């Protein structure tokens, strides 16, 4: 087996192990529950990835594990999840308000009246 194959194989073994750790850790968290295959992860800024720090998102278990093993994310804390859910609820409420405001408005686009010429 070549060195690159060994590294690749070890990476995926680490991802598999991390997947199991994510499931175990999330069972201890209050807000990490929900659909069992989805988990909240928080981004970590590194010189290499240039990502925004502390952005919470959801990922399926294998992808979350992969990102954690790569060092670009970590499992979100309950506090981060709560803040994220509050922000999402506010955004949803703002969107509902905009949609409700638009429902009451009807816009017609008609050509301007053409003056009649009498002879």
Tell me: the pLDDT tens digits for 12-30? 999 999 999 998 888 877 7
Pair of tokens at residue 39: 């988990």
Considering only residues 42 and 115, tell me which one the structure prediction assigns the higher pLDDT: 42
In the prediction, which pLDDT does 50 show?
Answer: 63
Q: Binning pLDDT at 50, 70 and 90, where does residue 58 land?
A: very high
* 79 alpha carbon, distance to own chain's centre: 16
In the prediction, which pLDDT does 51 show?
Answer: 64
pTM over 0.75: no
Pair of tokens at residue 15: 């991802």
């Amino acid at each position: 087996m070549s060195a690159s194959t060994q590294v690749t194989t070890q990476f995926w073994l680490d991802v598999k192990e991390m997947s199991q750790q994510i499931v175990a850790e999330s069972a201890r968290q209050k807000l990490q529950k929900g659909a069992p295959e989805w988990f909240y992860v928080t981004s970590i800024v590194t010189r290499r990835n240039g990502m925004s720090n502390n952005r919470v998102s959801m990922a399926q278990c294998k992808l979350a594990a992969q990102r954690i093993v790569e060092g670009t994310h970590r499992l979100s804390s309950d506090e981060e999840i709560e803040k994220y859910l509050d922000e999402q609820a506010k955004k949803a409420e703002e969107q509902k308000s905009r949609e409700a405001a638009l429902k009451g408005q009807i816009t017609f686009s008609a050509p301007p009246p053409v003056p009649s010429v009498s002879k």
